[in-house]
Amino acid sequence: MTNNIYFIANWKMYGSLSSINTLNKLINLSKLKKYKNAIIIYFPPFTLIQNFINKFKTTKISVGGQNCHVVEDYGSFTGSVSPKMLKDLGCKYVILGHSENRIEGESDEDINKKIRSALNKNLKVVFCIGETLKEKRKKITFSVLNRQINKGLKGIKNLNNIIIAYEPVWSIGTGLIPKDKELELNVIKIKKILSKKTKLRLPILYGGSVNNKNISNLKNITGINGFLVGSASQSSKKFIDIIKKTIN
Ligand code: PEP
């Protein structure tokens, strides 16, 4: 891999104040010249965002929110967090379209509204797409990706701040990863769909059971610009290992 490589740590609904103390080694690593092309972004739960931002203040490591509301600023939406609130905290990114939220009923249209609101607030969007096991078995992966991309990005002219995370749903948290060829073909499909929308070459990340063992193989997959790591990112040791093995 050349150029910038993304390493995204999605902590989901895990972590506590004490887990922040485990990040010192990662901070040291991020300052080494060898890792200057590593773009490291943490997505802690909302409750820890401020602490992460303070921790990473003098580093190049960024912080983002794991989701946001469709309304940009403020509103009577109990339990929700707006793009403005994330931005005001110091977040630079937000994850949208994660399958764990799609499963809860988030539609392509909801995701499109959220992406627009987030971009309006100058947040960069990690836009998650991917087929379920049922869809893979029915061999409709291409049309699923086509629908998710076209509906999710509908009407958005400037895709400069969009990062695509291809995450087969059947791979998230299961320990299963696509075969090399299948993954490469799906990345090609994604590029083809995107090429009809933009001349930009958006970063495409892979997510789904990435760990410090399978990374040695995954890093050789053509067309991928980095990784979205869930469970394994909650261990700083494993996350550091993933970065080191990718950039060696
Ligand atoms: C994720 O949270 O998007 C993810 C890919 O999780 P995991 O690495 O645990 O499969």
How does pLDDT run across 120-164, given as a tens digit for each residue? 999 999 999 999 999 999 999 999 999 999 999 999 999 999 999
Q: How many CA atoms lie within 13 A of 96 on its CB side?
A: 32
Average pLDDT over residues 105-112: 98
**Ligand 1 in contact with 231 (CB < 6 A)?**
yes
Q: What are the catalytic residues?
A: 98, 167
**Ligand 1 in contact with 95 (CB < 6 A)?**
no
C-alpha–C-alpha distance, residues 184 and 189, integer Å: 9
Ligand 1 atom with the smallest distance to the CA of 173 is 10
User: Mean pLDDT score of the chain, rounded to an integer?
Assistant: 97
Q: Can you give the pLDDT at residue 3?
A: 86
Nearest protein CA to atom 7 of ligand 1, as residue = 230
Under DSSP, the state recorded for 55 is H
Pocket test for ligand 1, best of 93, 99, 209, 211 (most atoms within 8 A of CB): 209
Q: What is the value of pTM for the model shown?
A: 0.97
Q: Can you give the pLDDT at residue 2?
A: 53
Q: 75-80: list long-range contacts, CB under 8 Å, 24+ apart.
A: none
Q: How many CA atoms lie within 13 A of 51 on its CB side?
A: 14
Answer yes or no: is pLDDT of 1 > 80.
Answer: no
Give the ranges where the chain is alpha helix by DSSP (H).
24-30, 49-55, 83-89, 99-102, 108-120, 133-137, 141-152, 180-195, 215-218, 236-246
pLDDT in tens, 158-175: 999 999 999 999 999 999
Pocket test for ligand 1, best of 13, 164, 215, 231 (most atoms within 8 A of CB): 231
pLDDT in tens, 8-33: 999 999 999 999 999 999 999 999 99
Residue 89 and residue 60 in contact, taking contact as beta carbons nearer than 8 Å:
no
Average pLDDT over residues 166-185: 98
Structure tokens at 151: 């509906």
For ligand 1, the distance from its centroid to the CA atom of residue 170, given in whole angstroms, is: 10
Domains of the chain: 5-246 (3.20.20.70)
| DSSP string covering 8-53 | EEE-TT---GGGGGGGHHHHHHHTSGGGTTEEEEEE--GGGHHHHH
Nearest protein CA to atom 2 of ligand 1, as residue = 230
Residue 63, class by beta-carbon neighbours within 10 Å (0-12 exposed, 13-18 middle, 19+ buried)? buried
Answer yes or no: is pLDDT of 186 > 80.
Answer: yes
C-alpha–C-alpha distance, residues 196 and 84, integer Å: 31
Q: Can you give the pLDDT at residue 197?
A: 96
